[in-house]
Amino acid sequence: MADADLDVVIRQLARQLHTGLMTRAKERRDRFNGLAAKAKSKETADRFKMMAKATLEQATAAAKRLQMSADNVADSYARSMRIAASTPVAVKVEKKADKPAKKAAKAKKAKAKKAK
């Protein structure tokens, strides 16, 4: 996994989170359905069934948002790496200082000062 691209790792982690989230949501749904089966009144049973349904709907929506965000991040990372790989590196060419030319310029300035 050390050599894997980061976008693949992001997608893999999102799948793991998605699986865990949906597993917990189903457990909670089953708990509410169990409470609905044990309820003594019809109103209480209906309320627990509605809570079970709402729990699963909310968890599904959260899982979709999680997956969409992870996909966007992974795509963005992959795109930026492709752009970075295709961009040519600008090589900076350093000019060597012309020491004789600088010395000659200083000598001319010195002569001009003496002549005044």
Average pLDDT value for the chain: 85
Residue 3 clears pLDDT 60, i.e. is over it: no
Question: Which residue, among 17, 5, 25, has the nearest Cα to 67 in the 3D structure?
Answer: 17
Dihedral pair phi/psi, residue 4, rounded to 5°: -70, 150
5 HSE (CA, 13 A, CB side): 13
49, 64, 81 from 26: Cα distances, Å: 13, 15, 38
CB atoms within 10 A of CB 26: 14
Residue 7 clears pLDDT 80, i.e. is over it: yes
5 or 72, greater pLDDT: 72
pLDDT digits (tens, 9 = 90+) for 48-95: 999 999 999 999 999 999 999 999 999 998 888 888 888 887 777 666
